[in-house]
């Protein structure tokens, strides 16, 4: 995906090459951050902090192929730290909902319900759902990213999906 010479140049201090590497993943970073913090401004803050952390520690990347995974791990940790500092999950604001419903970003009501249901999951379940279905990572990639066994990822995915199924069955019965 990335050329090893670009990473090496960035590690030697070439800021333009670093920005080129970041530019490749910036939309993915924003989407993941927004999934966690549910606020455009906070998501941008999390991405900015992630880029700063990556910039200051880019020399720690050993394998070129794992640059994107390394960057995503920094983002997830930064987003979780941000949520802990705020000591609560920021609810979706009305103007954010209007942007989500705009023609540029056509979300159906079902997708909004799903996002809300995912948001209510415990962090370990939300993380594996986001990485598996929104970032399209394999179980093995998620295990490497989260530094845990593949069996744990599979268990957490299974439990998260079951909790979502239960929630949607209950919402269908209540309607």
- Residue 139 is part of a domain; what is its CATH number? 1.10.10.10
Predicted TM-score of the model (pTM):
0.61
Confirm if 39 and 93 have CB atoms less than 8 A apart. yes
Range of the domain at 111: 107-175
* Domain total of the chain: 2
Q: Which CATH number do you get for residue 75?
A: 1.10.1740.10
Q: Are residues 118 and 174 in the same domain?
A: yes
Q: Are residues 134 and 74 in the same domain?
A: no
Residue 37: closest CA among 3, 88, 1: 88
Structural domain includes residue 136 = yes
Rg over CA atoms, the chain: 17
| Tens-place pLDDT, residues 136-156 | 888 998 888 888 899 999 999
Structural domain includes residue 101 = no
Q: Rounded mean pLDDT of 31-54?
A: 91
Q: Would you state the pLDDT for residue 141? A: 87
CA dihedral 134, 139, 142, 143 (to 10 degrees): 160
How many Cα atoms within 13 Å fall on the side-chain side of residue 9?
A: 13
DSSP state of 105: S
Confirm if 38 and 46 have CB atoms less than 8 A apart. no
| Tens-place pLDDT, residues 19-40 | 888 888 889 899 999 988 888 9
Dmax over CA atoms of the chain, in Å, equals: 59
Q: Are residues 26 and 78 in the same domain?
A: yes
- Select from 69, 92, 115 the last residue of a domain: 92
């Amino acid at each position: 995906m990335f050329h090893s010479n670009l990473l090496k140049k960035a590690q030697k201090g070439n800021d333009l090459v670093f920005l080129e590497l970041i530019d490749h993943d910036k939309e993915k970073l924003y989407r993941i951050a927004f999934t966690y913090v549910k606020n455009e401004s906070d998501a941008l803050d999390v991405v900015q902090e992630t880029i700063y952390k990556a910039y200051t520690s880019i020399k720690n990347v050993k394998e070129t192929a794992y640059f994107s995974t390394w960057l995503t791990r920094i983002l997830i940790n930064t987003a979780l730290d941000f949520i802990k500092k705020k000591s609560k999950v920021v609810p979706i604001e009305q103007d954010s909902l209007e942007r989500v419903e705009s023609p540029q970003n056509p979300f159906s009501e079902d997708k909004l319900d799903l996002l809300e249901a995912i948001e209510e999951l415990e962090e370990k379940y939300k993380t594996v759902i986001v990485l598996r279905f929104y970032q399209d990572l394999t179980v093995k990639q998620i295990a490497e990213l989260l530094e845990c066994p593949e069996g744990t990822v599979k268990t957490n995915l299974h439990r998260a999906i079951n909790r979502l199924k239960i929630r949607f069955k209950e919402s269908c019965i209540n309607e």
